[in-house]
Chains A and B, each alone.
Chain A
Amino acid sequence: MSKAIADLDFFGVERDTCSKLQFQKFLEPQKSFRGVQGAISKINPQLLKNLIASGTTFSEGNRQEHLLSSPSTPAVNQNFLRTLPVLIPVARSTSEIPPESAQLTIFYNGTVRVFDVPSDKAEIIMNFAQTELPAPKLVASSSKEAGPFDNLSGADLPIARKHSLRRFLEKRKERMTLVSPYDLVAACGGQEDKDSVRS
Chain B
Amino acid sequence: MARRNLNRVMSFGVSDVALELVMAYIHDPCDRDAVSLVCHKWYEIDALTRKHITIALCYTTSPERLRRRFQRLESLKLKGKPRGAMFNLIPEDWGGYAGPWIREIAEGFNCLKFLHFRRMIVKDVDLELLARARGHMLHELKLDKCSGFSTDGLLHVARHCRCLRTLFLEESVIEDRDGQWLHELAINNTVLETLNFYITELNKISVRDLELMARNCRSLVSIKVSDCEILELANFLLAATTLEEFGGGSFNEQSEKYCVIKFPPRLCRIGLSYMGRNEMPIIFPFAAQLKKLDLLYVMLDTEDHCQLIQRCPNLEILEARNVIGDRGLEVLAQSCKRLKRLRIERGADEQGMEDEQGLVSQRGLSALAQGCVELEYLAVYVSDITNASLESMGTYCKNLSDFRLVLLDRQERIPDLPLDNGVRALLRGCEKLRRFALYLRAGGLTNVGLGYVGQYSQNVRWMLLGYVGESDGGLLEFSRGCPNLQKLEMRGCCFSGQALALAVLQLTSLRYLWVQGYGASATGSDLSTMVRPFWNIELIPPRVTIDPENQIVTEHPAQILAYYSLAGQRNDHPETVVPL
Chain A contacts of B86 at CB under 8 A?
162-164
Task: Determine which of B442, B520, B557 lies in contact with A155 in the assembled complex, contact meaning CB atoms within 8 Å.
Answer: B442
Q: Min CB distance, B517 to chain A, in Å?
A: 5
Q: Are B353 and A187 in contact (CB under 8 A)?
A: yes
Given A64-B539, A165-B345, A194-B552, A146 and B521 touching (CB < 8 A)?
A: no
Q: Min CB distance, A37 to chain B, in Å?
A: 24
Chain A contacts of B65 at CB under 8 A?
none
- Is residue A181 within 8 Å, beta carbon to beta carbon, of the partner chain? no
Those of B43-67 within 8 Å (CB) of chain A:
none
Chain A contacts of B553 at CB under 8 A?
141, 144-146
Q: Are B574 and A196 in contact (CB under 8 A)?
A: no
Chain B contacts of A172 at CB under 8 A?
274, 299, 348, 353
Task: Determine which of B321, B541, B556 lies in contact with A140 in the assembled complex, contact meaning CB atoms within 8 Å.
Answer: B556
Most-contacted residue by chain B among A71, A135, A175 (CB, 10 A): A71
Binds B, one of A22-30, A51-59, A95-103, A106-114: A51-59
- Is residue A197 within 8 Å, beta carbon to beta carbon, of the partner chain? yes
Given A144-B553, A159-B406, A52 and B544 touching (CB < 8 A)?
A: yes
Given A56-B558, A134-B520, A199-B554, A67 and B575 touching (CB < 8 A)?
A: yes
Q: Min CB distance, A77 to chain B, in Å?
A: 11
Most-contacted residue by chain B among A3, A56, A149 (CB, 10 A): A56
Given A49-B544, A56-B541, A188 and B552 touching (CB < 8 A)?
A: no
What's the Cα separation between A138 and B558 when bound, in Å?
8
What's the Cα separation between A50 and B575 when bound, in Å?
8
What's the Cα separation between A51 and B580 when bound, in Å?
18
Task: Determine which of B89, B227, B542, B574 lies in contact with A56 in the assembled complex, contact meaning CB atoms within 8 Å.
Answer: B542
What's the Cα separation between A124 and B411 when bound, in Å?
32
What's the Cα separation between A124 and B169 when bound, in Å?
43
Write the chain B residue with the least CB distance to A191. Answer: B351
Chain B contacts of A12 at CB under 8 A?
none
Those of B314-362 within 8 Å (CB) of chain A:
321, 345-353
Chain A contacts of B528 at CB under 8 A?
62
Question: How many chain-B residues does the 8 Å CB contact rule pick out?
Answer: 69
- Interface mask (B244-265 → A, CB under 8 Å = 1, otherwise 0): 0000000000000000000000
Binds A, one of B187-195, B415-423, B475-483, B489-497: B489-497
Q: Are B575 and A3 in contact (CB under 8 A)?
A: yes
What's the Cα separation between A50 and B544 when bound, in Å?
9
Given A71-B571, A164-B171, A57 and B522 touching (CB < 8 A)?
A: yes
What's the Cα separation between A196 and B580 when bound, in Å?
31
- Is residue A189 within 8 Å, beta carbon to beta carbon, of the partner chain? yes
Given A53-B541, A64-B578, A172-B274, A157 and B442 touching (CB < 8 A)?
A: no
Those of A132-152 within 8 Å (CB) of chain B:
133-135, 137-141, 144-147, 149, 152
What's the Cα separation between A139 and B321 when bound, in Å?
28
- Is residue B103 within 8 Å, beta carbon to beta carbon, of the partner chain? no
Question: How many chain-A residues does the 8 Å CB contact rule pick out?
Answer: 65
Instruction: Please report whether the interface of chain B is mostly helix, strand, loop or mixed according to DSSP.
Output: loop
Chain A contacts of B494 at CB under 8 A?
153-154
Task: Determine which of B347, B351, B439, B573 lies in contact with A188 in the assembled complex, contact meaning CB atoms within 8 Å.
Answer: B351
Q: Are B408 and A53 in contact (CB under 8 A)?
A: no
Given A155-B442, A160-B88, A188-B351, A134 and B576 touching (CB < 8 A)?
A: no
Q: Are B89 and A57 in contact (CB under 8 A)?
A: no
Write the chain A residue with the least CB distance to B553. Answer: A146
What's the Cα separation between A57 and B525 when bound, in Å?
10
Q: Min CB distance, A33 to chain B, in Å?
A: 26
Those of A162-182 within 8 Å (CB) of chain B:
162-169, 171-173, 175
Write the chain A residue with the least CB distance to B87. Answer: A160
Q: Are B542 and A137 in contact (CB under 8 A)?
A: yes
- Interface mask (B556-569 → A, CB under 8 Å = 1, otherwise 0): 11100000000000
Most-contacted residue by chain B among A138, A149, A187 (CB, 10 A): A138
What's the Cα separation between A173 and B351 when bound, in Å?
12
What's the Cα separation between A39 and B26 when bound, in Å?
70
Q: Are B555 and A139 in contact (CB under 8 A)?
A: yes
Chain B contacts of A137 at CB under 8 A?
522, 542, 557-558
What's the Cα separation between A187 and B348 when bound, in Å?
13
What's the Cα separation between A7 and B241 when bound, in Å?
65
- Is residue B93 within 8 Å, beta carbon to beta carbon, of the partner chain? yes
Q: Are A155 and B88 in contact (CB under 8 A)?
A: no
- Is residue B409 within 8 Å, beta carbon to beta carbon, of the partner chain? yes
- Is residue A1 within 8 Å, beta carbon to beta carbon, of the partner chain? yes
Task: Determine which of B227, B274, B541 lies in contact with A57 in the assembled complex, contact meaning CB atoms within 8 Å.
Answer: B541
Chain B contacts of A133 at CB under 8 A?
521, 523
- Is residue A68 within 8 Å, beta carbon to beta carbon, of the partner chain? yes
Task: Determine which of B87, B519, B558, B578 lies in contact with A161 in the assembled complex, contact meaning CB atoms within 8 Å.
Answer: B87
Given A50-B575, A145-B553, A199-B554, A168 and B352 touching (CB < 8 A)?
A: no
- Is residue B524 within 8 Å, beta carbon to beta carbon, of the partner chain? yes
Q: Are A157 and B492 in contact (CB under 8 A)?
A: yes
Chain B contacts of A38 at CB under 8 A?
none
Write the chain A residue with the least CB distance to B517. Answer: A157
- Is residue B535 within 8 Å, beta carbon to beta carbon, of the partner chain? no
- Is residue A116 within 8 Å, beta carbon to beta carbon, of the partner chain? no
Write the chain B residue with the least CB distance to A142. Answer: B554
Chain B contacts of A198 at CB under 8 A?
349
What's the Cα separation between A61 and B523 when bound, in Å?
10
- Is residue B427 within 8 Å, beta carbon to beta carbon, of the partner chain? no
Task: Determine which of A1, A162, A173 lies in contact with B353 in the assembled complex, contact meaning CB atoms within 8 Å.
Answer: A173
Chain B contacts of A169 at CB under 8 A?
347-348, 353
What's the Cα separation between A189 and B352 when bound, in Å?
8
Task: Determine which of B88, B346, B352 lies in contact with A187 in the assembled complex, contact meaning CB atoms within 8 Å.
Answer: B352
- Is residue B165 within 8 Å, beta carbon to beta carbon, of the partner chain? no
Chain A contacts of B542 at CB under 8 A?
52-53, 56-57, 137-138
- Is residue A16 within 8 Å, beta carbon to beta carbon, of the partner chain? no
Give me 29 A-to-B residue pairs in the complex whose CB atoms sit less than 8 angstroms apart, sorted by A's number: A52-B544, A53-B543, A56-B541, A56-B542, A57-B558, A58-B523, A62-B525, A62-B528, A64-B580, A135-B523, A140-B555, A141-B554, A141-B555, A146-B544, A146-B553, A155-B492, A159-B346, A160-B84, A162-B346, A164-B199, A165-B347, A168-B297, A169-B353, A171-B227, A187-B351, A191-B351, A193-B348, A193-B349, A194-B552
- In the complex, besides A191-B351, A199-B554, 7 extra interface pairs with C-beta distance below 8 angstroms are A152-B517, A154-B467, A155-B441, A158-B409, A161-B346, A169-B347, A172-B274
* B interface list, Cβ under 8 A from A: 84, 86-89, 93, 171, 199, 227, 273-274, 296-297, 299, 321, 345-353, 406, 408-409, 439, 441-442, 466-467, 491-494, 516-517, 519-525, 528, 539, 541-544, 547, 550-558, 571, 573-576, 578-580
